[in-house]
Structure 1
Amino acid sequence: MSTCATASRQLTEPLAGTAAPARTWLLIEQPGPWGANALTSSHLDPAVGRALDEATKGTGVRIALIRRPGRHADCHEPALQRIFLAHTAPGRSWIRTTALADPAALLELDLAALGAGEHGGLWEPYAGDPLALVCTNGKRDRCCALLGRPLAAELAAAGGTEVWEVTHLGGHRFAPTLVVLPYGYAYGRATAHAVKEALEAARDGRITTAHCRGRSAWERPAQAAELAVRALTGEEGADALDVTGTEGAAPRWSVTVAHTDGRAWRVEVEQGAAAPPRPESCGRALGTPARMDVVAISPLAARAAGVSRPS
C-alpha cells in the first residue's frame, strides 16, 4: 500500500527545515482514543480543548495531548493528569511539570510569558531523562499509526528514557516523527537506533543531526540555516548555536547563526518546491510542498575580542 511516507522517502525529500515551529510546548496527558483534532475529539473536555487552542494562538506555545505507549481502548480518566511545559530556546531550555485533576486550570496560565520562556517558578522543575514524543495519531494520518506506534513501543520496552505518544507534530510524510525535549529538535524517518542515539546525546547536552528536521524554537528558514552550520562545523553542542537574525521574506532569507565562542555565519536560504508532486498526507491530493534550500554560507567577523575566525 502506497503511503505519503513511502512517497516522500522514495523521492528523497529533504528533512531540514520542516519542524513545526514552537518556542514552548504545552503537553497534556490524555489517555484513551484520539480523533483527528484531538483537542476536541478525545476524553479531554472539548470546551476546554477549544479554549486552550484559542488561548495559545500567537503566544509561541504549541499545545498537544500525550499518552503512554500501548493499547488505547476506551478507559477511565486518571485521577491526575501529567502536564509538561518545555521551552526550547538555546541556552534557556527548561521543562516544568505538574499533575492536575482538571486541565481547565491551564486556562489561567500566562501563555505569552511562557512562550517567551518565562516560567516564573511555575510547578516543579523536571529533572528526568529527555522527553521523546512520538507522533502516533492514526486518525490524523495512517502513517503516524503504522510507523509511529511500533517505534514508541520499542523505545518504551527498551527502557532508560521517557517516551510518550503525541497527537500531532506536523509532517506526516516524514513518519515516524518525534521531537526531543527540552531542546526541541525534531526528527523524521526515525529508526529506534537513531532515536536512542539522539536521546543519549540529549542527556549530554548534545544533538545528533541524522534524520533531523530542525529546532522548533525557530521558523523553517532558520531551522535549515542552523543545521547547515552544524554540518559545516561539526558542532554537536545543543546550545552552542543560536539564530540571532533573519532578514527577508519568501522565497529568500538571510539568516545569521552565531556560536557561543564568537564565530558567526550568514546563511542564504531559498524556498523551493518539492517535485515531482507527492501527497503531503495520506488520502490528500498531490502537491509540491515547500522545501528550504541552503544556497550559501559565509563567515562573519568574530563578535568577541580575542576570538579568532575559523581557518
Structure 2
Amino acid sequence: MSRPAAFRCATEARSRDDQLAGTASRAHGWVVIEHPGPWPFAGFAELYLADDLKHAVRQAALTAGMRILLIRRHGRQPRRASRSWGVLRYDARGDHRQEWGTWSQESDLAEIIAAIDRPGETGHPPLYLACTHGIHDACCAIRGRPIAGALSQHWPENTWECSHVGGDRYAGNLLVVPDGIYFGDVAAPTAVTVVQQLREGLVAADHLRGYADLQPAQQYAVAEVLRRFGPAGRHAIRVVATKRSGDAWSVSLACDAPLPSRVHVQLKVVALPAARLTCLAPAETRAIEHQTLEFVAET
C-alpha cells in the first residue's frame, strides 16, 4: 500500500488560490548575519550565542523597526574564518543605506548594535534573499532552494539563502532588501524574470506580496494599481491617505506618469474558511484576504 503524500502548505495554498497581495511582513530595515550551517528553527534567537548578546542585538533591531535574518550562500561553500553581517536600511525616497562588517567570534556581533545607530552608506547593491528555512516549513526549502540556485547563476554576489521571512504557504518566497519588496509563489525561472525587471527599475503585480514599509491594506492597493496599469518603479506609487472603518479601508495613492496621477481604492477585509496554513500547523486557522469595492483613477 502506498503512503499518502505529505501535506504541503504551498501546494494547498495554490489549490485554494490564496491571495498574495497584502501579505508582506512589515519592516523598515534588516540585520543580516551570515550563518553557513543549518538554520535553527527560530533563526537568530536560537543561535549558539551568549543570551545577553542576542538580547542586545534583538532589542536594538526591534527599536529601529528592523528584522533579523540569517543568510548563507547557495550550495557547498569552503569554510572561512570570518563571515559577514550587514545592516540594511529602507528609505522612502530610494536612498537606501547599508553598513557591512565581518565576524569570526560572537563578540564581533556587538558591532551590529552600533551600526544600527549609524546612517550607513549609499551605493551598495540590493540583496536577493530566497527563504530556504526548511526546518521551519518544508515548502520553504523545497521551493526556495531552486530560486537561490537560479539567481546565484546570474547574480552570485547579490544572492543569498535566508531564514524565515513569513508566509510559508507563499513559498517560494523572494525578498529584495533594503528595497523591502516581497514576492511569493516564485519558481526559479520566474525569479530570474522578476529580478531582471527590478534591475530595469520596474515592479510587476505578478507574484508581488507587497512592500514592507506599508500596511497590508496599503500593500493591496498598490498591487491593484500595478495589476491594472502595468509595472512601475518601486517608489512610483505613494500612499497619501488611509482611512479605516471596521473591516473597510480607503487608500488614496499618488502616482508618477504614465500611471494615473491619483488613485482611490475602497476595499474590505474578508475572513476566509479555516485551513491548515503551514506544513507544521497543528490545527486549522482562518486567514484573511482583501477585496476591492471601488477603484477610481484620476488622470
Q: Do these two structures clear the TM 0.5 threshold for a shared fold by scoring above it?
A: yes
Tell me which residue corresponds to 1:239: 235
Please list, as runs of the form range in 1=range in 2, the aligned pairs for 1:78-93 lying within 5 A after superposition.
78-87=81-90, 89=92, 91-93=93-95
Report whether the alignment pairs 1:214 with 2:180. Answer: no
Q: CA deviation at 1:238?
A: 2.0
Question: CA-to-partner distance for each residue in 1:269-291, whole Å, 9 max, x for gaps?
Answer: 2111223x221211211111122
Q: Distance in 2 between matches of 1:225 and 1:210?
A: 14
Match of 1:257 in 2: 253
For the pair 1:152 / 2:153, whether they are aligned, the reply is no
Cα pair distance change 1:46/1:34, threshold 3 Å: farther
2:113 counterpart of 1:107: yes
How far is 1:88 from its partner? 5.1
Identity %: 29
Asked whether the 8 Å contact 2:9–2:277 carries over to 1, the reply is: yes
Alignment of 1:4-19 (within 5 A): 4-19=9-24
Contact 1:33 1:42 in 2 (8 A): no
Deviation at 1:159, TM superposition (A): 4.2
AA in 2 matched with 1:206: L
1:33-56, CA deviations, whole angstroms, 9 ceiling, x for partnerless residues?
221111122355543333222333
2:7 corresponds to which letter in structure 1?
A: S
Tell me the distance in 2 between the aligned counterparts of 1:221 and 1:151. Answer: 28
Contact 1:271 1:291 in 2 (8 A): yes
2:3 equivalent in structure 1: none
Task: State whether residues 23 and 217 of structure 1, in contact with CA within 8 Å, keep that contact through their aligned partners in structure 2.
Answer: yes
Q: Which residue does 1:180 correspond to in 2?
A: 176
* Correspondence for 1:34: 39
Name the structure 1 match of 2:61: 56
SS in 1 for 2:186: coil
> In the TM superposition, what is the alpha-carbon distance from 1:71 to its structure 2 partner?
4.4
**CA displacement at 1:268 relative to structure 2:** 1.5
Change (3 A) 1:68 1:195: same
The farther-off stretch of 150-159 and 195-204 is: 150-159
The 2-side partners of 1:282 and 1:249 are apart by: 34
Distance 1:250 1:20, change over 3 A: farther
Displacement after TM superposition at 1:28 (Å): 1.9
Cα distance in structure 2, aligned partners of 1:157 and 1:46:
37
Report what 1:282 is aligned to. Answer: 279
SS in 2 for 1:278: coil
Q: Is 2:130–2:173's contact at 8 Å kept on the other side of the alignment?
A: yes
Determine the C-alpha separation between the residues in 2 that align with 1:218 and 1:17: 9
Q: Alignment RMSD, CA only? A: 2.4
Q: Distance in 2 between matches of 1:35 and 1:146?
A: 17
Query: How many residues in Structure 1 have an aligned counterpart in Structure 2?
Result: 287
**1:166 Cα offset (Å):** 1.1
Partner of 2:166: 170
One-letter code aligned to 2:90: H
- Alpha-carbon distance between aligned partners in 2 of 1:61 and 1:44, rounded to the nearest angstrom: 20
Deviation at 1:105, TM superposition (A): 1.2
Structure 1 residues 35, 160: CA separation in 2 closer, same or farther (over 3 Å shift)? closer
Is contact 1:93-1:182 (8 Å) kept?
A: no
TM-score, reference length from structure 2? 0.87
Deviation digits for residues 137-167 of structure 1 (CA, Å, limit 9, x no counterpart): 1121111112212321232134466111111
User: After superposition, what is the alpha-carbon deviation per residue over 1:187-232, rounded to whole angstroms, capped at 9, x for unaligned?
Assistant: 1110122211111111122112211111111111100001111222
1:181 Cα deviation (Å)?
2.7
| 1:133 corresponding residue in structure 2 | 129
Structure 1 gap segments, 5+ residues each: 112-118, 300-308
CA contact (8 A) 1:278 1:288 kept: yes
